[in-house]
Amino acid sequence: MFDKILDSKIWSLFFKGYGFLFLGFLYLPLGLIFVYSFNANSINMAVWTEFTFDWYLTIFGGASSQSSFDAAFTESPERIFEVVKHSVIVALSASTVSTVIGTATAIALARYNFVGKRFYQALLVLPMIVPDIVLGIALLIFFVGAGFHLSLLTVIIGHTTFLSSYVFVVVSARLAGMDTSLEQASADLGAGPITTFRRVTLPQIMPGVVGGFLLAFIISLDDVVITYFIAGVGSQTLPLFILAMMRRGLRPQINALAVLLLLFTFVVAAVGLWLRSRKS
């Protein structure tokens, strides 16, 4: 029997071994960046010389014991702070706006029926499905043609467009499993739609809304392709900055920057995944 086979000693051992290889494949590359980021060897990162915090220190403007040769290849803390600031401004505004828009739309589709609802639903998730590069250049053509100056604003608009779809999907999933009797009871007891929303609906969908917001925040913070096309000269974000650094060659400072970005993303993602798992 197949389920017996799957449970048999040999197969369960096979699956276990495979599982660890699978996780190894997922984590070895990331773990490697982490280890390299503490390696003093700036010529060949794969060869360990000695442990150092220098690459992290250069990011925060601390004194570096590295030679001037290395200093020429490291970015100034001011510049790094600037692109991080851009990223945070974009991610915060885009995910806030798209959380409001996506949640409103999810509620409308869960609670009302109208002609063409299924078609509209399909339309709503399109920005998420269209390849990044297509959306990126379509927005670029549009912004330039409409006379927009490429800036943080165009990046925020571009991100909001596809992030709203993500929030919509996450909040819709939450709404789908929700009991409507509480809302009806609230309406029967004389609460207006706004009161019902604020006191009954919103608290119930809150994990979905927060989860959607965090997901949108991470995706915005990490987006490379769409941002690449619609960011102006003065509106570089952290991923674009890393992209530019990678094009100039691999320097150990990238490792440290990548680890910091990785840690931050993982913390936000862990909170989001935890919120999502709480619903079941």
Partner 1 sequence: MTSSDTILKRKRRSLILLLAPFSIMLLVFFLIPLGIMMVYSFLEPGLYGGVEWNWYPYNYGRIIGWPLNDFEEFEPIYLKIFLNSLQIAIMTVIGTFVLCYPAAFWVSRMQGAKKNFALFLITLPFFANLLVRIYAWLLLLRPTGFFNTVLQSAGLIIEPLDLLFTNFSVIIGMVYILTPFMFLPIYANVEKLDYSLVRASQDLGANALQTFRRVILPLTAPGIIGGSVIVFIPALGNFIVPSFLGGSKVQMTGNLIERSFLQSRDWPFGAALALLIMASVVVLIVFQLSRQAKAEARGVS
Indicate the residue among 63 and 189 with the shorter CB distance to partner 1. Answer: 189
Q: How far is the CB of 182 from partner 1 (least distance, A)?
A: 18
DSSP states of the chain: -HHHHHHSHHHHHHHHHHHHHHHHHHHHHHHHHHHHTTB--SS-TTS---B--HHHHHHHT----S-HHHHTTSPPHHHHHHHHHHHHHHHHHHHHHHHHHHHHHHHHHHH---TTHHHHHHHHHHHHHS-HHHHHHHHHHHHHHTTPPPSHHHHHHHHHHHHHHHHHHHHHHHHHT--SHHHHHHHHTT--HHHHIIIIIHHHHHHHHHHHHHHHHHHHHH--HHHHHH--TT---HHHHHHHHHHT---HHHHHHHHHHHHHHHHHHHHHHHHHHHT-
Q: How far is the CB of 64 from partner 1 (least distance, A)?
A: 22
Indicate the residue among 1 and 63 with the shorter CB distance to partner 1. Answer: 1
Q: How far is the CB of 147 from partner 1 (least distance, A)?
A: 13
Indicate the residue among 202 and 270 with the shorter CB distance to partner 1. Answer: 270
Q: How far is the CB of 63 from partner 1 (least distance, A)?
A: 26
Indicate the residue among 160 and 186 with the shorter CB distance to partner 1. Answer: 160
Indicate the residue among 65 and 195 with the shorter CB distance to partner 1. Answer: 195
Q: How far is the CB of 142 from partner 1 (least distance, A)?
A: 4
